């Protein structure tokens, strides 16, 4: 297992809301990477698999996240 603490947090959207990623845990090639995220609306720390978060893209490059991603993912 490898744990990487992020020096610069990353803004992310999760199924539970907006937050910042503070670390990720790599358990190897058999398991998805797990991200540690602090949710802004309540301060809770939660774990998310890498396919359950969206990283906010650079708007200067024309990037936007799909706000309906988690509703249409099912």
| Residue range 25-65, pLDDT digits in tens | 998 888 889 999 999 999 999 999 988 999 888 777 777 77
- Determine, yes or no, domain membership for 64: no
- Determine, yes or no, domain membership for 44: yes
Taking residue 15's Cβ as centre, other Cβ atoms within 10 Å add up to: 13
Nearest to 40 by CA among 12, 19, 10, 9: 19
The residue ranking higher by pLDDT, 64 or 3, is: 3
Residue 40 · residue 34 · CB < 8 Å:
no
Supply the pLDDT for residue 45.
97
User: What is the value of pTM for the model shown?
Assistant: 0.83
Q: Look at the chain and report how many structural domains it folds into.
A: 1
Residue 18 · residue 39 · CB < 8 Å:
yes
Give the domain range for residue 11.
Answer: 2-59
Which residue matches tokens 């998805």?
Answer: 32
Q: 4 pLDDT exceeds 80?
A: yes
- Taking residues 7-29, report their average pLDDT: 93
């Amino acid at each position: 297992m490898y744990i990487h603490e992020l020096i610069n947090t990353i803004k992310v959207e999760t199924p539970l809301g907006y937050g910042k990623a503070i670390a990720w845990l790599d358990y190897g090639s058999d398991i998805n990477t797990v991200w540690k995220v602090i949710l802004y609306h309540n301060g809770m720390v939660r774990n998310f698999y890498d396919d359950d978060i969206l990283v906010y893209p650079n708007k200067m490059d024309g990037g936007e996240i799909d706000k309906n991603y988690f509703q249409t993912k099912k």
